[in-house]
Amino acid sequence: MSYSIIRVVKVKSKTNTRGIQRHIQRENKNYENIDIDLSKSYLNYDLVNDTKFDFNKKIDEKIEKNYKRKRKIRTDAIKHIDGLITSDNVFFNQLSEEETK
């Protein structure tokens, strides 16, 4: 029987967003997790964005556009939310590429 994983994490503004970006977009060369198969990284896709982008720049643009208050944003405020939805190989192996999206 297959299993699924849904992970949602609040990321505060002091967190290294660039490091998260490098991990998500597979920009790093080495990973401590031995389960990461870099030869399959081309199979990864983003459900929302078509191209890679600078996370900090995009977040700052959204804050600038939507934050209307006069008070300064707290340094420990939540800056963004990191989310992941996945399953095991048994589940994905029975689906076509189109069905996974």
The residue extents of the domains of the chain are 4-100
pLDDT confidence of residue 6: 95
Q: What is the pLDDT of residues 52-85, one digit of tens each?
A: 899 999 999 999 999 999 999 888 899 999 888 8
4-18, 39-53, 82-96: which range is least confident on average? Answer: 39-53
Structure tokens at 21: 């970006």
In 3-state terms, what secondary structure has residue 22?
helix
pLDDT, residue 9, reads 92
* Degrees, nearest 5: CA angle 50-99-26: 40
Q: With b meaning 16 or more CB within 10 Å and e meaning fewer, what string describes 2-37?
A: eeeeeeeeebeeeeebeebbeeebeeeeeeeeeeee
pLDDT (0 to 100) of residue 10: 93
Judge whether 15 and 79 are in contact, CB under 8 Å: yes
